[in-house]
Chains A and B, each alone.
Chain A
């Protein structure tokens, strides 16, 4: 395999793996902060138990998120040095601000939070968790500011002398309309992720009749947050879709598997596109639904991929001679359906859970609890699908319309080096993923009231004056 393919595999593999744990820790972070706040307000011990238990799961997922994040940061320089040279003036700034503004905050207060139980006032301790949650949200904001530029470059000038993109305005970068669709969508999706993992695991425990009161309260809180955030995520996603139709029409067309122009406003529910003959193939269409979704009058035409490809080849001729602008249609088409589908299912399940939690009806519905416990997986499918659409859909660009993936790769890295790192990363990810899932399930089996027999005899009073 050539270095470009190997570098792309590495980027895809790392991003997907990284983004399994990032939304989980962002979402759990918020949920735990809310739980701890409830404890401070209501002084009900069960909220403290919830904080501690879900906090453990949060810390586990955070650890894996952090280490994979370092790979992401270094990878730009290691595998994509030409991209870094072209984009450093713009891309580096949000990355550095992310580290300075968000990572220090998160990592310092996570240390404080994990190691100061009973050492500081409950209110202070809760503030630590909020600072962690704010830190991780800020981190998402800055990294998405960088990503938004790649999707929709704004406020830059190409310097012909240095042959790179240069920043015109830092605030311009932050005013990127793409950012204010992407950030809310991603962050709300992350909140949904944490909430539905709580819902799913609690449902699993309720089905096995473990710690009923604890899991009932956890599930309720998770379902409230999850329902709100799932609906909000879809709302923003809808706005994003409308913007996409004009900003990245090829991505939009691929998500709908439209090879030919769409004139009748119908929406394709199922399609098996024939990528070789550039033909829609078998499809099931719902009349008028697209117009309804896009909020147009039914007479709007959406360009199909065949038209767009011709236009784009013509548009970039001479500047970037690219033979074909087709993106991976099948992946985009189905990823979109998985994302939106699982998003809707989460919203519905969240509402149903809340409904059947009244009078605790759900406790006796084993099948419903089983189905709900599976929902712990749904956000991961939706998140991954979302990123596949976003990133694969900007093919062949790293920076949309400006810089291609083929031009981005490091020229001095060899295929063997990349192959070696790919294999080791894959093994490491597999190991970490397995261990993490095993440990989360194990912690869950122990439950919130498990006391480590080894730790029991270490009672000390950390607040005693002589300790300081």
Chain B
């Protein structure tokens, strides 16, 4: 076993991973839907319909991120502090994206002129573009190793954040979110819009496959994932590719549930790949000695134990009513079916 690593450390490392998986699986399609407002919808009516598919759920999807942030703060304060201060500008841009996107729903709904509404819907698009791209960049630059000092602080240069792999990572995550969103639209709407979403996604899969291959090569070249953990890393990469193929198959055969679950699995796979790759560290240093171990970053066992009990008590209820809310909004929407948002 790894020195100093307690079961509770591992549980919370896993839980943070699960929270990020939840975030990307759920909010991932919200971002994709946001992108679809400009890249799929042709007119205002279609745009409204597209936005309406996520209207009731985007807010609770975003809470996965807020919970991940809070849980990271509570269980691994040093991870939270190192990551958040070290990635100041990318995270700041994520916040800007989340802000303009978060108010755009209400503000667009209460706009009076076309111009005003258009502005806030553009904000939805811009926010939906910035956030997944920046997250992709953060995660893929993080795993290449960052210059961390003995006090756990990152003093990084521009090239540490922005390099070939992090840009590929950013584009890839954005693209997958977009396809994931298209698959969600295929699930949620009827008529021409649904057909077009399927067609557009069919065209995008080949691009995604190229992207995934480039990403896999960069993982091999720029990280020590395959060196340190060859079997699991390659297995997860294989699952990611298989899920992408399944999603493509679903698009060709008109099976939207399969496609949706598969693109969700691709996003989940990427998160798992990263968490699997960095284990038993939370942050990878540019030199091995600078990496921060899970056990070094963690809170006391008492805090972790308390948090585990609290989570075990609350989480089942949260998952139950979240699922129930998706069940309530399960029916498909027709274009022009109007302003549900009273």
Residues of A in contact with B (beta carbons under 8 Å apart) = 52, 56, 59-60, 63-64, 66-71, 73-74, 76-79, 81-82, 84-85, 87-93, 95-101, 103-105, 107-112, 114-117, 119-120, 164, 166-168, 170, 410-413, 417, 420-421, 424, 428, 432, 435, 439, 442-443, 452, 454-455, 458, 460, 467-468
Q: How far is the CA of A164 from the CA of B337 in the complex (A)?
A: 56
Q: Please tell me which one of the listed residues B55, B106, B300 contacts residue A166 in the complex, with CB atoms under 8 A apart.
A: B300
Would you call A78 and B88 a contact (CB within 8 A)?
A: yes
Asked if B212 is an interface residue, CB under 8 A from chain A, the answer is no
Q: Please tell me which one of the listed residues A60, A95, A410 contacts residue B74 in the complex, with CB atoms under 8 A apart.
A: A95
Q: How far is the CA of A97 from the CA of B303 in the complex (A)?
A: 12
Summed over the interface, the residue pairs from A and B with CB atoms below 8 Å come to a total of 233
Which A residues lie within 8 Å of B66 (CB)? 69-70, 73, 99, 103
Chain A: which residue is nearest B315 at the CB level? Answer: A100
Q: How far is the CA of A68 from the CA of B102 in the complex (A)?
A: 10
Q: How far is the CA of A110 from the CA of B300 in the complex (A)?
A: 35
Q: Give B297-315 as 1s and 0s: 1 = Cβ < 8 Å from A's Cβ atoms.
A: 0011011001100110011
Would you call B74 and A114 a contact (CB within 8 A)?
A: no
Q: Please tell me which one of the listed residues A68, A78, A111, A421 contacts residue B56 in the complex, with CB atoms under 8 A apart.
A: A111
Task: List the 7 closest A-B pairs by CB distance, nearest first.
Answer: A88-B77, A77-B84, A458-B338, A92-B74, A111-B56, A92-B73, A81-B81
Interface residues of B in 145-163 (CB under 8 A from A): 151-155
Q: How far is the CA of A87 from the CA of B69 in the complex (A)?
A: 15
Q: How far is the CA of A68 from the CA of B62 in the complex (A)?
A: 13
Would you call A452 and B302 a contact (CB within 8 A)?
A: no
Would you call B112 and A111 a contact (CB within 8 A)?
A: no
Which A residues lie within 8 Å of B110 (CB)? 56, 60, 439, 442-443
Would you call A117 and B73 a contact (CB within 8 A)?
A: no
Shortest distance from the beta carbon of A436 to any chain B beta carbon, whole Å: 8
5 more contacts with CB within 8 A, not counting A77-B81, A97-B310, are: A111-B60, A410-B153, A411-B153, A413-B88, A455-B339
Shortest distance from the beta carbon of B99 to any chain A beta carbon, whole Å: 4
Shortest distance from the beta carbon of A121 to any chain B beta carbon, whole Å: 13
Check A412/B153 contact, CB under 8 A, given A93-B303, A117-B342.
Answer: yes
Q: How far is the CA of A66 from the CA of B105 in the complex (A)?
A: 12
Asked if B80 is an interface residue, CB under 8 A from chain A, the answer is yes
Asked if B107 is an interface residue, CB under 8 A from chain A, the answer is yes
Which B residues lie within 8 Å of A411 (CB)? 151, 153
Would you call A116 and B328 a contact (CB within 8 A)?
A: yes
Q: Please tell me which one of the listed residues A73, A78, A111, A467 contacts residue B85 in the complex, with CB atoms under 8 A apart.
A: A78
Check A100/B60 contact, CB under 8 A, given A77-B81, A92-B299, A115-B341.
Answer: no
Which B residues lie within 8 Å of A95 (CB)? 70, 73-74
Which B residues lie within 8 Å of A92 (CB)? 70-75, 77, 80, 299, 303
Check A84/B73 contact, CB under 8 A, given A89-B299, A412-B155.
Answer: yes
Check A63/B106 contact, CB under 8 A, given A74-B84, A92-B70, A455-B338.
Answer: yes
Would you call B311 and A100 a contact (CB within 8 A)?
A: yes
Chosen A-B contacts, 9 in total, with CB atoms closer than 8 Å, are A56-B342, A70-B98, A84-B84, A88-B77, A88-B78, A92-B303, A99-B63, A111-B325, A417-B88
Would you call A88 and B56 a contact (CB within 8 A)?
A: no
Check A96/B152 contact, CB under 8 A, given A112-B56, A115-B329, A167-B306.
Answer: no
Would you call B338 and A78 a contact (CB within 8 A)?
A: no
Check A428/B96 contact, CB under 8 A, given A60-B106, A96-B67.
Answer: yes
Q: Please tell me which one of the listed residues B82, B303, B318 contacts residue A81 in the complex, with CB atoms under 8 A apart.
A: B82
Q: How far is the CA of A410 from the CA of B81 in the complex (A)?
A: 8
Check A74/B69 contact, CB under 8 A, given A63-B105, A412-B86, A468-B331.
Answer: yes
Shortest distance from the beta carbon of B273 to any chain A beta carbon, whole Å: 24
Q: Give B13-25 as 1s and 0s: 1 = Cβ < 8 Å from A's Cβ atoms.
A: 0000000000000
Chain A: which residue is nearest B78 at the CB level? Answer: A85
Q: How far is the CA of A84 from the CA of B78 in the complex (A)?
A: 8
Q: How far is the CA of A87 from the CA of B275 in the complex (A)?
A: 25
Would you call B98 and A114 a contact (CB within 8 A)?
A: no
Q: Please tell me which one of the listed residues A69, A89, A168 contacts residue B77 in the complex, with CB atoms under 8 A apart.
A: A89
Would you call A67 and B325 a contact (CB within 8 A)?
A: no
Q: How far is the CA of A68 from the CA of B99 in the complex (A)?
A: 7
Q: How far is the CA of A410 from the CA of B63 in the complex (A)?
A: 26
Q: How far is the CA of A443 from the CA of B107 in the complex (A)?
A: 12
Which A residues lie within 8 Å of B83 (CB)? 77
Shortest distance from the beta carbon of A184 to any chain B beta carbon, whole Å: 23
Which A residues lie within 8 Å of B55 (CB)? 111, 114-115
Which B residues lie within 8 Å of A119 (CB)? 328
Check A108/B325 contact, CB under 8 A, given A417-B88, A442-B112.
Answer: yes
Q: How far is the CA of A119 from the CA of B330 in the complex (A)?
A: 13
Q: Please tell me which one of the listed residues A59, A84, A120, A421 contacts residue B92 in the complex, with CB atoms under 8 A apart.
A: A421
Asked if B192 is an interface residue, CB under 8 A from chain A, the answer is no
Which A residues lie within 8 Å of B341 (CB)? 114-115
